[in-house]
Each structure stands twice: as C-alpha cells, then as structure tokens.
Amino acid sequence: MYTNESMDKGDKVQNIIETIIILIAFIVVASVFAVTILSARSASTEKDKQAIRAGLEGVQSSMNVKGSIIAEGSGTAVSDAIFTLSLVAGGSPVNLSATAKEVVVGYKDQAQFENDVPWTIKWIVSKQATADDMLEEGELAEITVDLSGLGTALGANTAFNLEIKPPKGAVLNINRTTPAAIQPVMDLN
C-alpha cells in the first residue's frame, strides 16, 4: 500500500519529467526557427550585398574631366565643346569607340534637349600596348562635341549642360555658361 507521501513523490517526478519534455520540445522548436531565420538572413545578406554593389556601380561615375572645358566659336554661336576625359581611380574601362556608340553625349539648355549629340575622340595619352578604344587607367582622351547642329545655336551668356552617359556608372554632368561675347577659343572653366 502506498502512502500519501510516496504518491506525492511519484506525482512530483512525473510532473518534473513532463516539464523537462515540454522544455526540450520548446528548445527544439526554437532551434529549428533560429536555424531557419539565420539561413534566410544569410541569403538576404548576400542579396543585399549584390544590390549595394549594383547601386554603387550605378552611382559612381567611371570618368572625370581633366582640365578646362574649351569652346570654339564662329560668329555668334559656339560650334564645339572640347574637354579631356580620364578614368577615375579604380574605375572600370570605358569603350569610347565612336563606331560602337556605347557612350552617348547629351546636350541641354533652357531652349532644348538633344539626347545624342555627335562627338569625336582624339587620344592624348594612350597605352602603346593596347590599340583599342577603351579608356583605361592612366589614359587621357580628348572629346570634341559638335554643337553646330543644335536646333537653337548656343550663343552668348547661355547656361548649358553636357551629359556623358557611359553604359555602366553614373552620368558625368558638365555644367557651364558661355561668356558674354563669342570668341574663336573660349575657356569655360
């Protein structure tokens, strides 16, 4: 025959075992959720890194202007804008081939917007080993933008913007204002 004391001990042991089983079940379920969340987070982190890299690639311009912007004038209008491009440190090479048309030059002022203005290239400093049209680190390319074909001629005291649009990276904006009198050669620094 069992006494009350022995039954109480049996009930206590059974309650402890049930409590331990419930705690183990909670720990197992929590572990499964933790592993699921951590694996989802690591996949999400990798996607975040890819998005950041793509965003930086789109924001950072791969080219910059070296020196002054020179304008050539004839009569009362600017006919050409000339500037020198270089690659930014660590930038990816940019194809400046006039035939490939990977880089587009846009023009805008208060009166008009032209998305594809004709331009030509002359290499100032080029690596002798590579005879390609890729603007690479250490190279300088002189770009001449033909502004003679604009719908409204670029005259005196006119603010304008040239947009150099490479296939990758940010648009390089060149904002200048023409002087009060059009000369054959003008420095638009």
pLDDT tens-digit readout, 114-128: 999 999 999 998 776
Do 98 and 176 lie in one domain? The reply is yes
Domain of 22, in residue numbers: 1-59
Do 148 and 90 fall into the same domain? yes
Q: 48: how many CB neighbours lie within 10 A of its CB? A: 11
Total domains in the fold of the chain:
2
Domain co-membership, 50 together with 113? no
Kind plus residue range of the DSSP H or E element containing 40 = helix 4-59
Q: What are the tens digits of pLDDT across the range 125-142?
A: 877 656 688 888 889 999
Q: Do residues 98 and 143 share a domain?
A: yes
Alpha-carbon gap, residue 189 to 24, rounded angstroms: 74
d(CA 14, CA 18): 6
Same domain, 30 and 69: no
Residues 6 or more apart whose CB falls under 8 angstroms from that of 51 comprise none
pLDDT digits (tens, 9 = 90+) for 38-88: 777 766 666 676 666 655 554 456 889 999 999 999 999 999 999 999 988
Q: Ramachandran region of residue 49, left (φ > 0), alpha (ψ -120 to 50) or beta?
A: alpha
Q: What is the pLDDT of residue 145?
A: 97
Q: Token digits for 18?
A: 């049930």
Instruction: Dig out the tokens for 81 from the structure.
Output: 């804008």
Cβ proximity of 156 and 180 under 8 Å: yes
CA distance 65 to 97: 18
50 and 72 part of one domain: no
Q: Does 87 lie in the same domain as 67? A: yes
